[in-house]
Amino acid sequence: MNATPRDSLHGSRQSGKARCEKGWNWKPQPLTDYDLWYVVSGEGEVILNGSKYPAYAGCCFLFRPGDRIAAAQDDSRRLTVIFLHFNGIADELQGLPPCVQLTDTAWAETLLSRLLTLDDPQPGISAAAQALDDAEFAALLRAMLCMLARAASAEQDRPDRHLPVIRRTMRLIKEYAAAPPRHEELAAQAGLSPRYLNELFKRHTGLSLKTFIARARVERACHLLAESTLNVSQIADTLGYSDIYFFSKQFKQFTGESPLRYRSRALEPRSHHGALAPEGEDSSDTNSSGLLPVAPRKTRLK
């Protein structure tokens, strides 16, 4: 009987599990087979055909023949990975994204562990026993691919589960603008690693944590300039700036003008026609990422 696409998966005898050495990085030649690359623990980054992906526990990458891959790790959180090379054709390969985050890691790791055993060369095994191992390998690999497809589909169908975390992080930063929490503290609050939180934050807001923290401090400075009698030096000190020149430089970077010019403009009399709508009436003051403009309610920035 001729082989069909549904029974043509087979291992390449180049699979294994490894804890990456300190200073490890990976840049292989373009692949000639498929590679399931699963992160057991640790953190790093994968660049696949020019696109960057964070790599952390539960991430499973599907590298395809011809893919250009580069990877590196955070040496303080070294990667442990399972890599499973295989060849063949299967319906389940169609439409799979390059990276899927698995929640049922225990079952995934059980499947992968058994697949590694089956793909390990066994000298002296009989032809009949080898045929059974090959059939089991194909069946379990197909089950693994189905798990990836199901997880990818669920990820597309559900609302972004990370959005509440990002909003809570934004609130914390704004609430403590004068003494913003460190990245590690924000990550602990979110239950994520600092690297992954920063990746998610930038994906949702377009800004890194560092830039958003600086922006929140400037936003608070805008309110104090417009609504308090504190002078510029006092405002800089209140917001934790040890250098007033750095404060002025960062303020101008975000607003396009000096603190003194901003205060002068914010205190100018406004005509009835120039007044802004009361709080809550103008939804245009919040952009698609949920970020407020730097300006206080009394004025708008360019």
Write the CB contacts of 254 (distance below 8 Å, at least 6 apart in sequence): 214, 215, 218, 294
Predicted TM-score of the model (pTM): 0.58
* Spatial separation of the C-alpha atoms in residues 68 and 123, rounded to whole Å: 34
Q: For the segment 6-63, what is each residue's pLDDT rounded down to a tens digit?
A: 457 888 888 999 999 999 999 999 999 999 999 999 999 999 999 988 898 999 999 9
pLDDT in tens, 279-299: 333 333 333 333 344 444 343
Tell me: pLDDT of 268 over 90: no
> Is-contact 193 186, C-beta < 8 A?
no
pLDDT of residue 152: 87
The sign of the CA dihedral 282, 280, 225, 290 is: negative
Secondary-structure percent of the chain, ordered helix, strand, coil, rounded to 5 = 45, 15, 35
With bands split at pLDDT 50, 70 and 90, how would you rate the model's confidence at 123? confident
Residue 41: how many CB atoms within 10 A of its CB?
14
Work out the mean pLDDT of the chain and round it to a whole number. 83
Per-residue pLDDT tens digits for 83-95: 999 998 777 788 8
Neighbours of 133 (CB within 10 A): 17
CA distance 48 to 31: 12
For residue 203, what pLDDT is reported? 84
Q: Count CA within 13 A, CB hemisphere, residue 268.
A: 13
pLDDT of residue 157: 57
Q: Which run of H or of E encompasses 55?
A: strand 51-56
* Alpha-carbon distance values, 92 to 95, 102, 135, 235, 240 (Å): 8, 16, 16, 60, 55
Angstrom distance (rounded) from CA 55 to CA 71? 9
